[in-house]
Structure 1
Amino acid sequence: GIVVGKIGTAIVYPDELVSALHHHDLMIGEAKLMPLDRMVDRAERWRRKGYKVGFTNGCFDLLHPGHLSLLKQARANCDRLIVGLNSDASVKRLKGESRPVQSEAARAAVLGSLETVSGVVIFGEDTPINLIEAIKPDILVKGADYTIDKVVGADIVQSYGGKVVLANLEDGFSTTSTIARMNEGSS
């Protein structure tokens, strides 16, 4: 496509190819972000095709190996994984005035670029209960620092035969502790 877009006989330079691939990855990531009504439609289409739809949520402020492990485990339990992403205002209420470090648009783009993630929905409430009620995931995934009775929406998912999965946590990874270490280094 790059060569065809040039006039006359032409070659593709490595930096042009890298730029085109980077742009393509961003476009794919952005295409995965959608409002709740469109995500509900997409989840219903996936289920009609026989896919199990999974759901997890979080702030995902600074993506780290713990997040990647959670997303990988979540995707291993379903065919399509939807991530509910706390909005900037929601993160600020939950984590404090200095958070989030990255905007919701940046966090959504990063999540959307991951192969394990099939869709991203931003929500402004403190919990994803409205998303869970609307999407009706077959699988609900949270970290094992929760118990099933403390997972928001577990009762709803279980009421229609869905499954709640507690993903193993990667020790030593926390956005809050990473930010604290970064702040120690800058003082």
Structure 2
Amino acid sequence: MESKDKIFTLSNLQDQLQAWRAQGQKIVFTNGCFDILHLGHVDYLEKSRQLGDRLVLGLNTDASISRIKGPSRPLQDEMSRARVMASLLFVDAVVLFDDDTPLELIKAVQPDILVKGDDYAIENIVGQDVVTERGGEVKTVPLVKGYSTTNIVKKIENQQNS
């Protein structure tokens, strides 16, 4: 399987989710921008996948990242980011979403487990009510301290300015 085979449209993802559920597999969902892949991302996604059988990654589109983080982001286009994320062994599906939050995507995916980093309080995680109302779980995983795309960008800018 090539990494691009793990990049889904929402309708294709629905078919894949149905097949996984028919096999009794537990679906884990998380989301993010993943603009520059770093150790923090890898550790977070690996830990997220360990919570279930399949990891679905909601990936912000370029437009949604620009609205959220400003016009200088993203640094990489959405298809580049999607291919990089899909290449990871522990990511089973990547699906792009254009909203500012993943709420509608979470409603469509109906994951068994919704995961975010431990910098979020569970009650503040978007979609937690949707998942818990249908008997799913919402969990946080510990983040590797000191790793963020923003910090990497600042470090590069500081080196260029010195």
Partner residue, 1:111:
85
Highest RCO, 1 vs 2 (Cα 8 Å, sep ≥ 6): 2
In the alignment, what sits opposite 1:56? 30
Query: Residues 42-76 of structure 1: CA distance to partner in whole angstroms, max 9, x if unpaired?
Result: 11210110100110000000011111111011100
| Number of equivalences | 161
Candidates 69, 89, 92, aligned match of 1:95: 69
Aligned to 2:154: 180
Q: In 2, Cα distance between the equivalents of 1:158 and 1:80?
A: 18
Misfit runs of 4+, over 2 Å: none
Determine helix, strand or coil for the equivalent of 1:91: helix
Structure 2 residue 41 is the aligned partner of structure 1 residue 67 = yes
Corresponding residue of 1:138: 112
Q: Secondary structure at the match of 1:171?
A: coil
Tell me the TM-score normalised to structure 1 length.
0.84
Matching residue's letter, 2:34 = F
Q: C-alpha offsets along residues 141-186 of structure 1, whole Å, 9 cap, x if unaligned? A: 1000001111000010000110111010100101001101101111
Shift of 1:40: 1.5
- In 2, Cα distance between equivalents of 1:186 and 1:100: 19
Answering whether residue 3 of structure 2 is matched by residue 29 of structure 1, we say yes
Alignment of 1:82 with 2:28, yes or no, is: no
In the superposition, the TM-score normalised over structure 2's length comes to 0.97
Aligned alpha-carbon RMSD (Å): 0.8
Give the counterpart letter for 2:27 in structure 1: V
SS in 1 for 2:31: strand
The 1-side partners of 2:4 and 2:10 are apart by: 15
Give the match's secondary structure for 1:97. coil
Where structure 2 has 5 or more consecutive residues not aligned to the other structure, the ranges are: none
Q: Which residue of 1 aligns with 2:145?
A: 171
